[in-house]
Chain A
Amino acid sequence: MTAAPLLEVKSLGKRFPTRAGREPSPWVIQDLSFAVRPGELVTIIGPSGAGKSTLLNMIAQIDTASAGEIVFDGAVVASHDARALRPGFDRKIGYVTQDDNLLPWRTTIDNVLFPIEVQGRLDGKMRAHVEMLIGAVGLAGYERYYPHELSGGMRKRAALIRTLAYDPPVILMDEPFAAVDAQTRTQLQADLLKLWELGRKTIIFVTHDITEAIALGDRTLVLSRQPTHVAAEHLIPIPRPHNVADIFAVEGFAAIYERIRAAIQ
C-alpha cells in the first residue's frame, strides 16, 4: 500500500428500476468497496450472475449506480442520473468488453485507430505506435482484413489493442478471453501481460476462471453471490513476470488456487 489509490469504489450499490405494481427490485450489488493503485493489475472473480459486468458498466459510466460512489483520481465518477453519465469518463477509463465490438465496415488497422481518430490525435507517431502494437500481438499482415475475415482470437487481439492504443489510465476488461479455445486464451493472456509489462497500465480484469485470475493478477478480489460485495481479497505471491503457460508449475500456485476456490461460494 505504497501509492495512493487511483480508483476507489466506495459502498457501491445497484438495483434495477422497479416496474409499476411490483415488489421493489432486490439489490444486485450492495456495499461493494475496493481500491486500485496505479499500475496494478487486479483480477475480480465471482460466481456467474454476481453482477460483474454491471460493476464494470458502472465504473465505465455506461450504467448508473444506485448507491455509493466511485472516485477516480480524486474526482467522483459514478452517477445516479442516466443523463449525467459520461461514458469512459473523458477517455480516462477504457473498456474491453466480452464481445469484441469491432466495427464490421472497418479493417483491422482502422478499427484499432478508431478511438485515436475520433479523439483527433491521429498522426504519424500514433500510426507507428499502432503498427508496433499490431505486430506485438501477431496481427501483422492482417491490417487490411475486415473483422469477418479474422478468427475469434484475432478479433479479441484487435479489440484489446484498440483500447491499449489510445492509452487510457485505467482499463476495464470483462472476460475478454472467455469465448476462445484454451490454447488461444493462454496466448492472449501472454500477449496481455507482455503489453502490460511494456506500459504498466492500471487494469481491472473480470473473469470466472481461477487460473486466469492468478496468472494475470497482482491481487484477486473474490465477489460474493447477490447482493454482491467483496467476499475476500488475495495477494498473488507469484513473482513477475508471470509465465502464463506454466503458471501451474510455479511454487505457491496450488495453495493460492485452493484458497481462492474455497472463498468462492
Chain B
Amino acid sequence: MTRWRTYADRLIVLVVILAAWQVGSYFVGPYWLSSPWAVASRFVAQIWSGELIRQSAYTIEESLIGTIVGGVPAVLLPFMLRRHPVLVAILDPFMVGGYGAPKLAFAPLFILWFGIGIESKIALVASVVFFIVYFNTLAGVRALDPRLVQMAQIAGAGERHVARHIVFPAAVPYILAGFSIAVPYAIGGAIIAELISSNRGLGYLVQTGAMNFDTTSVFAAILAATLIVHAANMLLDAAERFLLRWRPPAQVMLDVGN
C-alpha cells in the first residue's frame, strides 16, 4: 500500500516540476529555457532517428570501460596491501591527494596525452572511479572482524582461504557502496570530457546544441544522461539485493550511501 502511495506522490512531484518549467519557459521564452513539451518531443524524435541511442551508447561505453579500468585495480589493491600496513601508510597521503584533486581539471591533460578519441574519456572516468572505490574497499577491509579470521584460522584456513571466504565477502557491501557513489561521477566525467573535445557522445550533443543556441537539444541530451544514471543505479541496487541477501533488511537500508 505505502509503496503505491510513494509512487503516486513521486508522480505529483514530477508534475509540479514540469509545470514550473513550462510556466518558466512561457515567461522567459523558449529560446533560453526551452519547454518540457519541446524537450519531450525532441527526445522522442531523436530516439526514433537513432541519434540519441547512438550518442548515448558511446557515452555508456566510455563510462563502462572507464569504471572497469579504474574500479578493478581499486578493488584489488586494498586486498593485496592487507598484509602490508606500512605500504598502505606510505601510500595514504598520495591516495588522499588523488582523491581530493579535481579530476575534471585533468580532462584537458588527458586529451593532450591520449587524443580526442575514446582513450582520453576512459582515462578521466577511470581516474574518478579509482579513488572513490579504493577508499571504500579499504574501509571494508579495515572493518573486518578479527574474531572471524581467528575462527577460520583455528578451523584450518590458510591465508588464501581467509582472503576469499572472510575478507572478501565482508568487504562486498563496502565495494558496492563505492560503485554506487562512483557511477554518477563516471557518467558525468565522460560527458565533461566529451564537452571539451569530441565528435561523439552526449557531451558532444550538449556542446553542439549550445553552440547553435538550441537549448531543446541540450535538455534532451541532459535528460538522456539522467536516465542513464538512473538505470545504472537500478542495476546496482538489484546487484546489491542479490549479493547482500544474507543481511538483515534493516541493515541494507542503513548502509546505503556509506
Interface residues on chain B, number (Cβ under 8 Å)? 21
Q: Once bound together, how far apart are the Cα atoms of A163 and B156, in whole Å?
A: 11
Contact between B155 and A103, CB atoms less than 8 A apart:
no
Contact between B247 and A104, CB atoms less than 8 A apart:
yes
Closest to A147 in B: B246
Q: Does A227 touch B at the CB level, under 8 Å? A: no
Binding site for B on A (CB under 8 A): 60, 62, 87-88, 90-91, 93-95, 97, 99, 101, 103-106, 114-115, 118-119, 146, 148, 162-163, 166
- Known A97-B147, A99-B147, A118-B161; contact A104-B246, beta-carbon cutoff 8 A: yes
Give 20 A-B contacts (CB < 8 Å), ordered by A residue.
A62-B154, A87-B150, A87-B154, A88-B154, A88-B155, A90-B156, A91-B156, A93-B154, A94-B154, A97-B151, A101-B148, A103-B165, A103-B166, A114-B165, A118-B155, A118-B158, A118-B165, A146-B245, A148-B248, A166-B155
Contact between A118 and B154, CB atoms less than 8 A apart:
no
Chain A residues contacting B153 (CB-CB under 8 Å) are 62, 87-88
Q: Does B30 touch A at the CB level, under 8 Å? A: no
Q: Once bound together, how far apart are the Cα atoms of A118 and B246, in whole Å?
A: 21
Q: Once bound together, how far apart are the Cα atoms of A93 and B147, in whole Å?
A: 16
Contact between A95 and B169, CB atoms less than 8 A apart:
no
Chain A residues contacting B155 (CB-CB under 8 Å) are 88, 91, 94, 114-115, 118-119, 162-163, 166
Which secondary structure characterizes the binding site on chain B? helix
> Could you tell me which residues of chain B, from 147 to 183, have a CB within 8 Å of some CB in chain A?
147-148, 150-158, 161, 165-166, 169-170, 172
Chain B residues contacting A93 (CB-CB under 8 Å) are 154
Chain B residues contacting A90 (CB-CB under 8 Å) are 156
Q: Once bound together, how far apart are the Cα atoms of A61 and B154, in whole Å?
A: 8
Contact between A146 and B246, CB atoms less than 8 A apart:
yes
| 15 further A-B pairs in the complex, CB-CB below 8 A; given A105-B169, A118-B156, A118-B158 | A87-B154, A88-B153, A88-B155, A93-B154, A94-B155, A95-B151, A95-B154, A101-B147, A101-B148, A101-B150, A103-B169, A105-B246, A114-B152, A148-B247, A163-B155
Closest to A172 in B: B154
- Known A103-B169, A118-B165; contact A62-B158, beta-carbon cutoff 8 A: no
Q: Once bound together, how far apart are the Cα atoms of A162 and B152, in whole Å?
A: 11
Chain A residues contacting B150 (CB-CB under 8 Å) are 62, 87, 101
Closest to A120 in B: B156
Q: Once bound together, how far apart are the Cα atoms of A166 and B157, in whole Å?
A: 13
Contact with A along B242-258 (1 / 0, CB 8 A): 00011110000000000
Q: Once bound together, how far apart are the Cα atoms of A104 and B165, in whole Å?
A: 11
Chain B residues contacting A94 (CB-CB under 8 Å) are 154-155
Q: Once bound together, how far apart are the Cα atoms of A101 and B166, in whole Å?
A: 11
Chain A residues contacting B147 (CB-CB under 8 Å) are 97, 99, 101
Contact between A118 and B151, CB atoms less than 8 A apart:
no
Contact between A60 and B154, CB atoms less than 8 A apart:
yes
